[in-house]
Amino acid sequence: MIKEWRHFIKSDPTLMMGKPVITGTRVTVELILEKLAAGETVEQIIDAYPRLTKAGAYAALAFASEALRADVVYST
């Protein structure tokens, strides 16, 4: 897991409505997670978005993991 995802992820209100993106691209963390959840591999996503690197894709996972770590989940 990438410990320093901060090198790869940025959020800018003027880019993609402020959603976290892979630095130097317009590829959002959300898009990467959706594609992985749909069964695509990291390699397939990189093929579709050539500016995306494997390190950037894994940084998206590390970012999401850290973001969810602080969330509290209540059972219904």
pTM of the model: 0.85
Query: What are the residue boundaries of the structural domains of the chain, listed by start?
Result: 5-68
pLDDT at position 69 is 83
pLDDT digits (tens, 9 = 90+) for 23-60: 999 999 999 999 999 999 999 999 999 999 999 999 99
Residues 6+ apart with CB under 8 A from 46: 52, 53, 54, 57
Q: Judge contact between 57 and 5, C-beta under 8 A.
A: no
Please provide the size of the chain in residues: 76
Q: What is the spatial distance between Cα 43 and Cα 57, in angstroms, rounded to a whole number? A: 9
> In the numeric block, which tokens belong to residue 19?
């959603």
Contact 29, 20 (CB under 8 A): yes
Note the pLDDT of residue 1.
Answer: 47
> What is the distance between the alpha carbons of residues 50 and 72, in angstroms, rounded to a whole number?
36
Structure tokens at 31: 């898009």
* pLDDT at residue number 57: 96
pLDDT(5) > 70: yes
Any idea which fold 5-68 has? Arc Repressor Mutant, subunit A (1.10.10)
